[in-house]
Structure 1
Amino acid sequence: MFDLIKHSRYDLQTQTSWDNLAHLIQTDGWMDHEDMRSLLLKDGKTLTLEFIEDDWIFFLFYLYGKTRNKQLQPNSILEYKRDMNVLLEFLADPANAFNTVGLADPAPPSCRLKDIGRLQLRAYERYIKERYAPNSAVRKLSFLKSILRFGYEKGFVSHNFRDEFSIGQKVVAITERKLNYEELQVVLNELRKKPLLRIIGSLFILKGLRVSELCAINNADLESGLYGDTMVKLIRKGGKVTRKKIPKNVMYDILIYREQLRSSLRNRGLELNESPEAPLIPNKNGNRLFREHVWSMIKRATIRAGKEHSTLKKKAKDVSPHWFRHTFATIALDSGASIQDVKDELGHEDIRTTQIYLHSLKEETGSTLADLINSKVQV
């Protein structure tokens, strides 16, 4: 193991290899090996990554060797891995990355993360701000600043780049990330054409689920409620577990879909996995749905629905499953739900997050000063 880490020959392409090394770092198992202690302990006391050459192995130390206030959840780890992949792909070929987004700025030389410099940082900042929406750009640049700070503290990078690039501020764009009643109905009509899309759309708009929550539901997560309703266990953001009722019509659609899928698989000589750990809502091959797959299905369906609808057509390319979550919150509040009920349904830890939707709704439905003046005089 010592030679693999020191000479960057550790194969992280398989999940088993990734899990093994992650466990070794997370449990400080490397401290049981004298050679690894000599490589990773500075003066025999503090962790140093100065002699680590592989960027992904450094990333594993960032994930599992860094002191954190709370344990990272699987979805957060996936998000970090995606951000790391975007960063390393850019550093490997900045010129091609700039051509992809149409930037004419000079591209810096390619490099490893360990050798990153001011030129690459400034170029990556321009690339991210051009390619991604403001909040996504803020998150990716925040990740970069965090991982470089950790790298400097542990000797992986030789310079402190804390002030070399700006992150910016998150923007509240709730009104830009929801569908109005008419647009929503057009999209739902399109989703109803396919059983799986019908279920996904129903759970998004009736329960305000996150994609990760939907994909993670297993057969064992279903149970019967006090009045015979079907309850489902959800793993919320941050690892919090809650129980929610599935509407009867949606549960009926799930059962019908699974029966049709069971028959389809048998015709292909396959069996639907009915084990407790298997997904409740599998894809057409009986496997678990993944975030990227759901995003793609929703986007394609919205684009199809928007072909004959002027305002939806303009939004369609930007619509994602999270738009349904915003739409759910806004419609629930507009229909008279209390802000506390919406907060609980969405799984927000802070009610101030839910209040953003209420503020957005008031902007659209409340009386303005112009309305008050028009009620007194004719303009």
Structure 2
Amino acid sequence: MAGSTFGTILRASAWGESHGKGIGVVVDGCPAGLPLDEADIQAYLNRRKPGQSKFTTARQEGDVVEILSGVFEGRTTGTPIALEVRNTDQRSHDYGNIMDVYRPGHADYTFDGKYGFRDYRGGGRSSGRETTARVAAGAIACKFLRTLGITVRAYTRSVGSIEIDYGSFRMEEMWNNRLYMPDAKAARKAEAYLEEMMARKDSCGGVVECVIHGMPVGVGEPVFDKLDACLAKAMLSIGAVKGFEIGDGFEASRSLGSVNNDGFRMSGETEDKGLLFTDRIVKSSNHSGGTLGGISDGSDIVMRAAFKPTPSIAQGQHTVTRNGQETDIEIKGRHDPIIVPRAVVVVEAMAALTAADLLLQSMTSRLDRIQEFFGR
């Protein structure tokens, strides 16, 4: 299978199936000397793992990560970092009734059309469980970025039609509710709405917003490997993501040049704890979402990923079998009524992997900086 490796210099090669023995990833290209242990990665996996609330699947996976290589005495060695998470709570018998049935909204039909067979136990590589590997790799990228003063933070912007109010936005609030919404009032409304969806044996979608703070000017390429294009690929590679925006996104199409253009100004010298910071160029607004011409402009990179409703619902649905026989199906098993809360950290991970990889690529963009690095 092609397409299981992401990145150019910092590369993450993922493997494993939903109901196989485990999920894993090999991260190559990480610089040597980065402090790293399993607790660093586990903190991210704990945000993604199932069974956290009634709004997530009841599958009880500890998602305990083990570092198999690439770390010695608490630091990366510069060699491939192999990570493994064992599956411990598979119930493959829950999927016996759909062995030859194509589930609406799933990849069953297309996977079968491509490979001539499919792993019907939860979708195999098409399952959302494969995001375990993305999060594990993304945790390493996040720690690398933090050494450069760059942070990546994602949160739930909306559940169905219920959106956060930026006037009530408090980032720390996302840790106080089960939906990772930085608005307490919106979270309460969203939880009530999800209760209604569950009672109706239905599901809903939502939007995850992500902000990369501290990215320097000059990261990304001006043509095919634009920073925003790479982020779009990263987000749209996540199962169930059906839309991507950066900055004002689609709203920009309804704006005017006089409004949408971000003006430039000098920041002015500021003193903080006795330190004087040099006057620098900054933007007076951020409609572009932190990129210009596909290259980072030094302001916050703001993006959004839209997730469709969870396709596995308990309502009866009409479909066909592999042999072309029309039938009805009721999907059994343990499924999320909404994907978004567990996807927040997945978005964060993919944004971090993209940013870290492009940062490393940018190190060779200018001769003067190469000469400076090698002392020439």
* TM-score normalised according to structure 1 size: 0.25
Higher helix proportion, which one? 1
Structure number, greater radius of gyration: 1
Return the structure number with greater relative CO, CA threshold 8 A, min gap 6: 2
Higher strand proportion, which one? 2
* TM-score normalised according to structure 2 size: 0.25
